[in-house]
Amino acid sequence: ASFPLLCLRSPLVTPLIFGLLVQAPCTQPSTIPRPNFVLLLADDLGIGDVGCYGNDTIRTPNIDRLAKEGVKLTQHIAAAPLCTPSRAAFLTGRYPVRSGMDAVNDYRVIFWNAGSGGLPPNETTFAKILQHQGYTTGLIGKWHLGVNCESRDDHCHHPLKHGFDYFYGMPFTLISDCQPTETPEMDRAFRRKLWLSTQVIGLITLTAALGRVTGLISVHWKTLSCLAAFSLLFFISWFSSYGFVRYWNCIMMRNHEITEQPMVTDRTTFLILRESISFIERNKHKPFLLILSFLHSHTPLLTTEKFLGKSRHGLYGDNVEEMDWMVGQVLDAIDKEGLKDTTLVYFASDHGGWLERQEGKRQLGGWNGIYKGGKAMGGWEGGIRVPGIVRWPGVLPAGTVIDEPTSLMDIYPTVVHLAGGAVPQDRVIDGRDVLPLLRGTVAHSEHEFLFHYCGVHLHAARWHQKDTGAIWKAHYVTPIFKPPGAGACYDRGFCPCFGEGVTHHEPPLLFELSQDPSEARPLSADTEPLFDTVIRRIGRAIEEHRRTLTPVPEQLSVSNVVWKPWLQPCCGTFPFCWCDKEGDN
């Protein structure tokens, strides 16, 4: 009681206290030591596939342990419902439309290692900032953000150009084509059309030749030769890419060196885990950032014999349980090196589970719990609401559940802040520093609005009305489910973003997610008195958001996505690309 009186009476103490008050915000971060970062990113994992999010049949004890020892986010939102744009947003803290990593066409992800599109060199990842702050940075596993621009060794989109000191893994993504025993997955419908066209052209050529030989049709030999040459060239032009997908896309790299072409899938899980643990052991005496970007649980669901047939959900469940075991191995390595209290561990998925991924009666995609929709659907919760868990013993309160809107983009400013860096001031950063929210020093997320894109097309937006706790979500475009009411686009394999496969809503579909998280009961002006007010407010927010967008080159344009032989990473002399350096070792 006497201290304030003393301050008022002392001319020396007053400026001292004032100086401390002014400096407090600047010195506050130093009270929290700079941690190591281990960021675990699953691939295509549905929020309903994890025990701590309600699944009681797939066993995920290690991920559940993270939640028990840390903070579980129940409204953790991906910035896109597909791999490439979501991962671009994760690393840059920006909606992918800002970097050109969202598509205007149906090619919504990087399709080839030999494409020229990818994460632009002028984007600043949080890894690059941490590198400048003295961190050793590593990415192990999946990249899927491009490799080259103009030549097969310029590596302009490579992880090492984006702030990583070490890379081991797939520059592309895991697909069923990587497994010789599986049905090809990549561009399946288009490949059928190309093969059918080849057969038609070949049949025309053969008919013309037979007609010429039998005298039934008058065809000049020069015309026949041109037809035959065109038929052969047409076949070669597409088969040279699609016929060798396993060699062109299914490769493993260490830094710039190709170690397996094609990858030997039987040992991939072991190698990725070994590399992750080795990275932690090598860098235990200095600050480090490790992103373990799992190939699990993407098809073809590479699963070792130890886990096959062990789950109650077939191969997909086996695969998720193996990934959980890998999480446990990484956590054990952190504990073994005495780094548990100095390491922030984060676990998430890049987007929702793939509902349409089936082979016969086998379900090979994930489950999104109570949430409607899934992978590739930009608006529905099932495509973008993902697991989000953060653990940092002694700093973050254990066993906490936060039901506030957060984004994968928030990792960017949060990690940069904790590492002592500063976010770039020359561009819009859409993520928000969530450390105060995670620590419980603030009650609400900084996100008032979040915008949900499907490609470059805005499908939905949400408004977190903090004074009431309401979370309004307006859908302007939704995919047409087939069969009707099925909850996914089983006729296509992927739900589209535009064209005949979507419905435009005027007025928009409106849901209040805190009351209706499954988006089952759309509101209207008749049932919701605030309907018009909410729609107008969200509409103004969208207009303000769009004014912050600037034109950028389209990284996923057809010209950037198409296979270019001169950009093909090759272990050998192109087109004879083959090596197995891991086997040699």
Q: Which token pair is 248?
A: 């062109």
User: Residue 339 and residue 284: Cα distance in Å, rounded?
Assistant: 8
- Partners of 362 in beta bridges: 359
Question: HSE on the CB side for 8, CA within 13 Å?
Answer: 5
Alpha-carbon distance 537 to 3, whole Å?
Answer: 48
Instruction: Sort strands 343-349 and 36-42 into parallel, antiparallel or unpaired.
Output: parallel
The catalytically annotated residue of 83, 454, 489, 571 is 83
Distances in Å between the Cα of 98 and the Cα atoms of 24, 118, 459 are 35, 13, 16
Closest CA to 117 of 82, 150, 91, 161: 150
Provide the residue type at 248 as one letter. Answer: W
Cis check for the bond before 575: say yes or no (omega within 30 of 0). Answer: yes
Q: How far is CA 80 from CA 352, 382, 412, 459, in A?
A: 10, 12, 16, 11
Q: Is 149 a catalytic residue?
A: no
Residue 76, φ and ψ in degrees, nearest 5:
-95, 120
Which two structure tokens, joined as six digits, stand for 293?
């970007």
144 in catalytic set: yes
**Distance set, CA 528 to CA 449, 509, 511, 525, 533 (Å):** 20, 12, 10, 5, 10
307-312 long-range Cβ contacts below 8 angstroms, 24+ apart: 311/57, 311/58, 311/59, 312/57, 312/58
Give the closest residue to 473 by CA, choosing from 441, 413, 515, 435: 515
The catalytically annotated residue of 76, 132, 144, 149 is 144
Would you please indicate which residues are annotated as catalytic (active-site) residues?
83, 144
